Structure 1
């Protein structure tokens, strides 16, 4: 029987009180806070906000607890925008989500900063419940501008080595989600597919945890997906909200891992799915694939940052209850 694990890709909305408090502390607008520049009051506000979102995950019964990435003003680009050798350029739009972020311009060598590790270490959760979240190497390189390495392949290698160094500093954790929406939105050229798979391997090898490469904003093109299957990871994530048919095609045509992350909850729509609806969607996927999965991560298709806080919390509860229903049915 497939083990169902309720979790999320992280990147949560700030609690409403934290938005107000941070705005008052530093005239905070999105993108204004840079890692290392926060004063003690801002650090404390983020600490209390982290406690809120961790508590929300525990109370709603999620099986994996993420830090929440509340400081990630620039979303997936955050690990670079706080780096000493990266300058933040003008405002750009990532993908097609109507949110705007700063352009990280890499001007020097990328060395691990320990910033994400410090955030993860601050989570009050047992190691067997803890889930780390990072952008995957391909997406992070895609969202950045290289002004130092001068070669696309060398830059991707540098980003992968940087992320692997960050992971090596992480406290013990059960799962690592690598978020790779650029595999869908800006897939690599055919001659680069193997290299992308190798860089994902490099990051995955830096942890003993189960590694999930979560893709979204649609389905990965089939040739890119076939190469992604070469990566030594435990599960691949699929966006069954945006393009279920193409996701099923990839699974049935090229196979998948023994684990799967099912993006079944809409991370951008305020309509809250019921636990029964989520379970129906799990069964829908199961009935249409040829794989007996050892573990299925039930998750939202995208980050949850885009939602109002009350809807975000309701979606956490729906995911937790959907996984709990499996135990009752068993």
Structure 2
């Protein structure tokens, strides 16, 4: 019987009070922020934000609770933009939407920083065992895609270095139940034909660094058929995340019908960029529709999640979507 797990890809919106407080504090401390040295007041504010985001997830009834990534101003580029061997360039567009981030330019060796691990340790303290902890990282392919390489000098070597860097970060993590690797670039800027193995090798490097369940979450459309097959067979993931909100759902279903799937799947069922809050029954119907289309009697685990990170939403809408996901697991059962 399939286990239903309600969770999210993380990157929650900041509460309104925190936006105002952090904007004021950061305006007086710009020079320190690029190195990750945020100062006591900013650190304390982020601690409060983390506590609130964790409590929101617990209150909603999610089965996996993440740190929330409140500090990730640069979205999934964050682990690089705070690195000592990365220079942040100008502001650039984040994929094809109206989100922006600082361009990370790698100018030295990418060694693990422990930054994400420290945030997860703090989240684990807040959780105090009330729910399993979920870690979130950018996938290596997407992180390399968002960055500029001014050090390694070879595209393949750079991707491998980013993967090793992320694997080193994971090795410092506290105990966690799941690890979501966010890989939108696999759809937005997929690897060239016959280079798919580089991407899957990089993902496998990170996946092998943890004993947790690894979800490679893709979004904003359907994967190319050949790349999909490589991910299922070679990436070392326990679950592949599929977007059932954006893009061609029929193409996504076809991939599963034609090439099989990982033992578990993560289904992007609520819209992370639309304020309309889906009803639990609607979410359940989407799961049932998908499962009726694919030749698998049951998956080990089906993760019910948002298709994208939730940063783009007002805080109240994000928390309502969390509750809807959690409630949907009961409707299906």
Cα distance change, pair 29–280 in 1 and its aligned pair in 2 (3 A): farther
Residues 13-45 of structure 1 show CA distances to partners (whole Å, capped at 9, x for unaligned) of 001111111122233899994352211011000
1:107 Cα deviation after fit: 0.2
Name the residue aligned to 2:323: 317
Cα distance change, pair 106–261 in 1 and its aligned pair in 2 (3 A): same
2:242 to 238, 242, 245: 238
Residues 164-191 of structure 1 show CA distances to partners (whole Å, capped at 9, x for unaligned) of 0000000000000000000001000122
Q: Which runs of 4+ in 1 moved over 3 A?
A: 28-35
Q: Is residue 60–residue 317 contact of structure 1 (8 Å, CA) maintained in 2?
A: yes
Name the residue aligned to 1:251: 256
Name the residue aligned to 2:113: 113
Name the residue aligned to 1:60: 60
Q: Is residue 32–residue 38 contact of structure 2 (8 Å, CA) maintained in 1?
A: no
1:192 to 191, 195, 215: 195
1:284 to 259, 280, 289: 289
Cα distance change, pair 257–264 in 1 and its aligned pair in 2 (3 A): same
Q: Is residue 90–residue 103 contact of structure 1 (8 Å, CA) maintained in 2?
A: yes
CA distance in 1: counterparts of 2:166 and 2:24, whole angstroms? 33
1:287 Cα deviation after fit: 0.5
For residues 25-64 of structure 1, the aligned pairs below 5 Å read 25-27=25-27, 33-64=33-64
For residues 134-153 of structure 1, the aligned pairs below 5 Å read 134-153=137-156
Residues 125-174 of structure 1 show CA distances to partners (whole Å, capped at 9, x for unaligned) of 23961000000000000000000000000000000000000000000000
Cα distance change, pair 217–151 in 1 and its aligned pair in 2 (3 A): same
Q: Is residue 35–residue 84 contact of structure 2 (8 Å, CA) maintained in 1?
A: no
Query: What's the C-alpha RMSD, in Å, of the aligned pairs?
Result: 1.7
Q: Is residue 10–residue 69 contact of structure 1 (8 Å, CA) maintained in 2?
A: yes
Residues 184-209 of structure 1 show CA distances to partners (whole Å, capped at 9, x for unaligned) of 01000122111211111110000000
Cα distance change, pair 210–151 in 1 and its aligned pair in 2 (3 A): same
CA distance in 1: counterparts of 2:30 and 2:99, whole angstroms? 10
CA distance in 2: counterparts of 1:141 and 1:81, whole angstroms? 12
2:278 to 270, 273, 276: 273
Of stretches 317-326 and 270-279 in structure 1, the one that deviates more from structure 2 is: 317-326
Residues 76-133 of structure 1 show CA distances to partners (whole Å, capped at 9, x for unaligned) of 1000000000000011112111111111000000000000000001012239610000
Q: Any unmatched runs of 5+ in structure 2?
A: none
CA distance in 2: counterparts of 1:28 and 1:295, whole angstroms? 47
* 2:226 pairs with 1:220: no
CA distance in 2: counterparts of 1:25 and 1:224, whole angstroms? 44
CA distance in 2: counterparts of 1:120 and 1:257, whole angstroms? 27
CA distance in 2: counterparts of 1:56 and 1:28, whole angstroms? 30
Q: Is residue 65–residue 131 contact of structure 2 (8 Å, CA) maintained in 1?
A: no
2:302 to 284, 296, 299: 296
Q: Is residue 64–residue 131 contact of structure 1 (8 Å, CA) maintained in 2?
A: yes
Name the residue aligned to 1:306: 312
Cα distance change, pair 119–240 in 1 and its aligned pair in 2 (3 A): same
Q: Is residue 23–residue 29 contact of structure 1 (8 Å, CA) maintained in 2?
A: no
Q: Is residue 30–residue 73 contact of structure 1 (8 Å, CA) maintained in 2?
A: no
Cα distance change, pair 316–32 in 1 and its aligned pair in 2 (3 A): farther
**Paired residue total:** 327
Cα distance change, pair 310–128 in 1 and its aligned pair in 2 (3 A): closer
